[in-house]
Protein backbone atom coordinates (compact mmCIF):
# COMPACT_ATOMS: atom_id res chain seq x y z
CA UNK A 1 0.00 0.00 0.00
CA UNK A 2 1.26 3.49 -0.83
CA UNK A 3 1.15 5.96 2.01
CA UNK A 4 1.84 9.70 1.82
CA UNK A 5 3.07 11.74 4.78
CA UNK A 6 2.62 15.49 4.26
CA UNK A 7 2.62 14.83 0.52
CA UNK A 8 5.73 12.62 0.41
CA UNK A 9 5.49 8.88 -0.25
CA UNK A 10 6.76 6.79 2.67
CA UNK A 11 7.16 3.09 3.47
CA UNK A 12 3.91 1.93 5.07
CA UNK A 13 5.43 -0.36 7.70
CA UNK A 14 9.11 0.34 8.35
CA UNK A 15 10.93 -2.07 10.67
CA UNK A 16 11.74 0.34 13.48
CA UNK A 17 10.76 -1.52 16.63
CA UNK A 18 7.82 0.85 17.11
CA UNK A 19 4.52 -0.51 18.46
CA UNK A 20 1.21 1.38 18.27
CA UNK A 21 -1.39 0.71 20.98
CA UNK A 22 -4.83 2.20 20.41
CA UNK A 23 -6.49 3.74 23.47
CA UNK A 24 -9.91 5.29 23.94
CA UNK A 25 -8.89 8.85 23.04
CA UNK A 26 -5.24 8.56 21.93
CA UNK A 27 -2.63 6.24 20.50
CA UNK A 28 0.32 5.13 22.61
CA UNK A 29 3.54 4.86 20.60
CA UNK A 30 6.07 2.49 22.18
CA UNK A 31 9.60 3.00 20.90
CA UNK A 32 13.01 1.71 21.98
CA UNK A 33 13.56 5.02 23.84
CA UNK A 34 10.18 5.31 25.59
CA UNK A 35 6.41 5.50 25.26
CA UNK A 36 4.69 8.62 23.88
CA UNK A 37 1.08 9.55 23.14
CA UNK A 38 -0.37 10.74 19.84
CA UNK A 39 -3.76 12.00 18.71
CA UNK A 40 -5.21 10.90 15.37
CA UNK A 41 -8.42 12.16 13.76
CA UNK A 42 -9.95 11.42 10.39
CA UNK A 43 -10.31 14.29 7.90
CA UNK A 44 -12.13 12.89 4.89
CA UNK A 45 -9.77 10.35 3.30
CA UNK A 46 -6.80 11.58 5.35
CA UNK A 47 -5.73 11.03 8.94
CA UNK A 48 -4.35 14.00 10.88
CA UNK A 49 -1.83 13.03 13.57
CA UNK A 50 -0.40 15.18 16.35
CA UNK A 51 2.74 13.58 17.78
CA UNK A 52 5.53 15.12 19.89
CA UNK A 53 4.68 18.68 18.92
CA UNK A 54 4.38 18.04 15.20
CA UNK A 55 1.31 17.65 13.02
CA UNK A 56 1.21 15.15 10.17
CA UNK A 57 -1.24 14.36 7.37
CA UNK A 58 -1.40 10.71 6.27
CA UNK A 59 -3.14 9.81 3.02
CA UNK A 60 -3.43 6.71 0.86
CA UNK A 61 -3.78 8.76 -2.33
CA UNK A 62 -1.19 11.14 -3.72
CA UNK A 63 -2.21 14.64 -2.59
CA UNK A 64 -3.07 17.26 -5.16
CA UNK A 65 -0.21 19.22 -6.67
CA UNK A 66 0.95 22.02 -4.38
CA UNK A 67 -0.49 20.50 -1.19
CA UNK A 68 2.03 20.85 1.63
CA UNK A 69 2.18 20.16 5.32
CA UNK A 70 3.33 22.64 7.94
CA UNK A 71 6.83 21.19 7.77
CA UNK A 72 7.19 22.49 4.22
CA UNK A 73 5.07 25.64 4.37
CA UNK A 74 5.45 26.88 7.95
CA UNK A 75 1.67 27.33 8.12
CA UNK A 76 -0.08 25.64 11.04
CA UNK A 77 -3.82 25.06 11.17
CA UNK A 78 -5.87 23.52 13.96
CA UNK A 79 -6.13 19.78 13.28
CA UNK A 80 -9.39 19.68 15.27
CA UNK A 81 -11.55 22.01 17.38
CA UNK A 82 -9.96 22.97 20.68
CA UNK A 83 -8.76 25.73 22.98
CA UNK A 84 -5.46 27.62 22.84
CA UNK A 85 -3.86 27.14 26.27
CA UNK A 86 -0.51 28.83 25.63
CA UNK A 87 1.00 31.29 23.16
CA UNK A 88 4.79 31.48 23.44
CA UNK A 89 5.66 33.76 20.50
CA UNK A 90 4.60 37.03 18.89
CA UNK A 91 4.61 38.28 15.30
CA UNK A 92 8.17 39.21 14.32
CA UNK A 93 9.84 36.82 16.77
CA UNK A 94 12.80 34.81 15.49
CA UNK A 95 12.32 31.09 16.19
CA UNK A 96 14.52 28.02 15.90
CA UNK A 97 13.59 24.61 14.55
CA UNK A 98 11.70 22.66 17.23
CA UNK A 99 10.89 25.71 19.37
CA UNK A 100 7.41 25.54 20.91
CA UNK A 101 5.13 28.21 19.39
CA UNK A 102 1.64 27.56 20.78
CA UNK A 103 -0.23 24.82 22.63
CA UNK A 104 -3.70 23.61 21.64
CA UNK A 105 -5.84 21.51 23.98
CA UNK A 106 -8.19 19.12 22.23
CA UNK A 107 -9.71 15.82 23.27
CA UNK A 108 -8.28 16.24 26.82
CA UNK A 109 -4.73 16.39 25.43
CA UNK A 110 -2.36 19.31 25.02
CA UNK A 111 -0.78 19.46 21.57
CA UNK A 112 2.25 21.72 21.18
CA UNK A 113 3.01 23.22 17.76
CA UNK A 114 6.77 23.50 17.18
CA UNK A 115 8.62 25.56 14.57
CA UNK A 116 9.34 23.37 11.51
CA UNK A 117 12.57 25.29 10.75
CA UNK A 118 14.54 28.39 11.78
CA UNK A 119 12.51 31.43 10.81
CA UNK A 120 10.37 34.42 11.76
CA UNK A 121 6.76 34.40 12.97
CA UNK A 122 4.85 36.17 10.17
CA UNK A 123 1.27 35.71 11.41
CA UNK A 124 -0.25 34.71 14.73
CA UNK A 125 -4.00 34.17 15.02
CA UNK A 126 -3.84 32.18 18.27
CA UNK A 127 -4.94 33.94 21.48
CA UNK A 128 -4.57 32.24 24.86
CA UNK A 129 -7.98 30.99 26.03
CA UNK A 130 -9.62 31.26 22.59
CA UNK A 131 -11.63 28.42 21.07
CA UNK A 132 -10.54 27.44 17.56
CA UNK A 133 -12.25 25.46 14.82
CA UNK A 134 -10.91 22.62 12.71
CA UNK A 135 -8.71 24.01 9.94
CA UNK A 136 -8.39 27.50 11.45
CA UNK A 137 -5.05 29.19 10.71
CA UNK A 138 -3.09 29.52 13.96
CA UNK A 139 0.47 30.58 13.13
CA UNK A 140 2.72 31.11 10.11
CA UNK A 141 6.51 30.86 10.26
CA UNK A 142 8.59 32.05 7.32
CA UNK A 143 11.91 30.28 6.84
CA UNK A 144 15.04 32.45 7.16
Dihedral angle sign, alpha carbons of residues 97, 120, 10, 57: positive
- The DSSP output letter for 71 is H
- Report if pTM > 0.75: no
Q: What is the CATH topology of the domain spanning 70-143?
A: OB fold (Dihydrolipoamide Acetyltransferase, E2P) (2.40.50)
Share of the chain above pLDDT 90, in %: 28
pLDDT beyond 60 at 63: no
Mean pLDDT of 111-118: 89
pLDDT of 98 > 50? The answer is: yes
**Domain positions in the chain:** 3-59, 70-143
pLDDT of 45 reads 76
Task: Name the most confidently modeled range: 40-44, 48-52, 62-66.
Answer: 48-52
Tell me the mean pLDDT in the region 106-127. Answer: 89
Strands 54-59 and 3-5, how do they pair? antiparallel
Using an 8 Å Cβ cutoff, are 46 and 91 in contact?
no
Of 38, 46, 3, 45, the residue nearest 19 (C-alpha)? 38
Amino acid sequence: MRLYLNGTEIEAAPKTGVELVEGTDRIMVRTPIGTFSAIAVRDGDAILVSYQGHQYRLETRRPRVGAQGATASGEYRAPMPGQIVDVLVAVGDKVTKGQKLIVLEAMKTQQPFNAPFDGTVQALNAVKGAQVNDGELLVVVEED
